[in-house]
Amino acid sequence: MQDDVLFVHGGSPLEGEVRVKGAKNLVPKAMVAALLGQEPSRLRNVPGIRDVHIVRGLLQLHGVAVYEGDEADELVMDPSSVELANVADIDAHAGSSRIPILLCGPLLHRIGRAFIPDLGGCRIGGRPIDFHLNVLRDFGATVDKRPEGLFLEAPNGLHGAKIELPYPSVGTTEQVLLTAVRAEGTTELRNAAVEPEIIDLICVLQKMGAIISVATDRVIRITGVERLGGYTHRALPDRLEGASWACAALATQGDVFVRGARQLDMMTFLNVFRQVGGAFQVEDDGIRFWHPGGRLRAIALETDVHPGFQTDWQQPLVVALTQASGLSIVHETVYESRLGFTSALNQMGATIQLYSECLGGTPCRFGQRNFQHSAVISGPAKLHGADLVIPDLRGGFSYLIAALAAEGTSRVHGIDLINRGYEGFHAKLDALGARVELPEPVREGVA
Ligand code: EPZ
């Protein structure tokens, strides 16, 4: 597709201001939560990204009226006429998102049945849904796997359960929350994920009338209630997008003020950014990130669940680490294949070697399974422009950063994938002085 390519002329620093809105990894889930209410909900700070459009379409298919609110970036969702949607329609709307799996609990509560098509999402590992299906069965759902997707029913209603996750999965924790709030009795979830987006979803559900407590030992307890109302909520800012722009500033020797970025959600990232040699200043309304001059420092880093270093920060940071002096080690412990994007960086002149051993940290569950999930990055590297094909959302943004830091011109293919999670990234790049352009439109009759 012609307009799916971006020409990036690298070599100049990014300078200026961008604004981040609500988090991609909260907003679609808060939209799903609206399905559980008896009254309309209002979600604020909603970004114009594709994942939001997909969930909007899915909600509408299920009879939820979704419209713009009076405030800018506000969505109103009225679930008073929820109904079972046509299977083929759902399939067409599911797109490449993993959000449909989270509709299970709310739909079972509202209409007693749910259909979930094959899921998409970034190809950064196997991304199974076994935890999701197991917890839904714990609540009393039956799951029928058919060629077209999953059909779920709850013949005896949904009841609270004692659940312990094998791994603190973000999506499965959200699945439990969205199901337990209206299940009969209490639910105890052990080894839960506690990412800021999950806590924000809990705030949404509490506003609706849910009773949820979060203990310090990753145990979440939920007392089911018979009825939930609507909510008015301002989504927490996107800490993943914020960190992406921070890494772009560092890798291009630039200076970017990220309006909306919040220190509390980014503390772990900020520590690492400082260790590498980046500078930042926290303001009331955002965080300024810049390269203070001099050499960047190599570091050893391990990704982990919150409050560890978020896996989604890893890919943009790796690009910045190609500019650090010495050997950096990155051990990816959340997704087994999230370092595959580095082969393209090597084509651009980086020196990154992947290993299947757990390097530089604690052994993880991928250590014995031959996944190349550790990287040694040798820098500083002089990057040059290349032809790049975007593999996944964060990897894609990271390629943009690399292309901006490189000498010469890169052709970045598959940029549409970036629209899934970065609102108006092209306009933001323009505002930061990046020299990026779409190819000239193909003239009619010319192949
Ligand atoms: C969410 O994915 C995010 N996506 C991801 O962001 C993020 O990287 C991830 O959480 C970790 O923080 C959304 O919120 C839409 P998981 P999720 O369940 O919920 C394994 C981005 O770039 N697992 O915490 O799907 C899984 O394979 C995206 O913004 C199972 O084995 O992640 C992985 O190794 C990418 N079985 C680990 O758990 C399951 O049933 C953590 O996954 C579910 C998960």
For 282-299, write each residue's pLDDT tens digit. 999 999 999 999 999 999
According to the model, what pLDDT value does residue 237 have? 98
According to the model, what pLDDT value does residue 147 have? 81
For 381-427, write each residue's pLDDT tens digit. 999 999 999 999 999 999 999 999 999 999 999 999 999 999 999 99
Distance 185 CA to ligand 1 centre (A): 28
Q: What is the pTM of this model?
A: 0.96
**Beta strands at 255-259 and 15-19: parallel, antiparallel or unpaired:** parallel
Distance 436 CA to ligand 1 centre (A): 31
Return the best residue to mutate from 169, 218, 314, 425 for the ligand 1 pocket (most ligand atoms within 8 A of CB).
169
Distance 182 CA to ligand 1 centre (A): 24
According to the model, what pLDDT value does residue 445 have? 39
CB of 131 within 6 A of ligand 1: the answer is yes
CB of 394 within 6 A of ligand 1: the answer is yes
Q: In sequence order, what are the residues at sequence separation of 6 or more whose Cβ sits closer than 8 angstroms to the Cβ of residue 384?
A: 348, 349, 406, 407, 408
CB of 334 within 6 A of ligand 1: the answer is yes
Measured CA to CA, the distance from residue 381 to residue 352 in angstroms comes to 10
CB of 127 within 6 A of ligand 1: the answer is yes
Which parts of the chain register pLDDT below 50? Answer: 1-2, 442-447
Measured CA to CA, the distance from residue 75 to residue 53 in angstroms comes to 11
Distance 137 CA to ligand 1 centre (A): 20
Return the best residue to mutate from 116, 127, 364 for the ligand 1 pocket (most ligand atoms within 8 A of CB).
127
Residue 278 sits at φ, ψ, to 5 deg, of -80, 155
According to the model, what pLDDT value does residue 82 have? 86
- Is-contact 392 125, C-beta < 8 A? no
Residue type present at position 308: G
| Token pair in block for residue 129 | 């849904």
Q: Which 8-state DSSP code applies to residue 417?
A: G
Map tokens 């999506």 to a residue. Answer: 171
CB of 365 within 6 A of ligand 1: the answer is no
Q: Which residue lies with its CA nearest to atom 13 of ligand 1?
A: 25
According to the model, what pLDDT value does residue 446 have? 38
Residues forming the active site: 122
Q: Which 8-state DSSP code applies to residue 441?
A: P
Distances from the Cα of 124 to the Cα of 315, 371, 373, 394, angstroms: 11, 12, 11, 10
Q: In sequence order, what are the residues at sequence separation of 6 or more whose Cβ sits closer than 8 angstroms to the Cβ of residue 119?
A: 94, 97, 98, 100, 101, 127, 129
Atom of ligand 1 nearest to the CA of 26: 14
Distance 18 CA to ligand 1 centre (A): 27
Residue 307 sits at φ, ψ, to 5 deg, of -90, 25
According to the model, what pLDDT value does residue 207 have? 98
Q: Which residue lies with its CA nearest to atom 18 of ligand 1?
A: 169
Measured CA to CA, the distance from residue 299 to residue 366 in angstroms comes to 21
Q: Which residue lies with its CA nearest to atom 19 of ligand 1?
A: 171
Q: Which residue lies with its CA nearest to atom 8 of ligand 1?
A: 312
According to the model, what pLDDT value does residue 293 have? 96
Atom of ligand 1 nearest to the CA of 122: 35
**Beta strands at 75-78 and 41-44: parallel, antiparallel or unpaired:** antiparallel
Q: Which residue lies with its CA nearest to atom 41 of ligand 1?
A: 169
Atom of ligand 1 nearest to the CA of 167: 38
Return the best residue to mutate from 20, 129, 170 for the ligand 1 pocket (most ligand atoms within 8 A of CB).
170
Return the best residue to mutate from 49, 51, 55, 334 for the ligand 1 pocket (most ligand atoms within 8 A of CB).
334
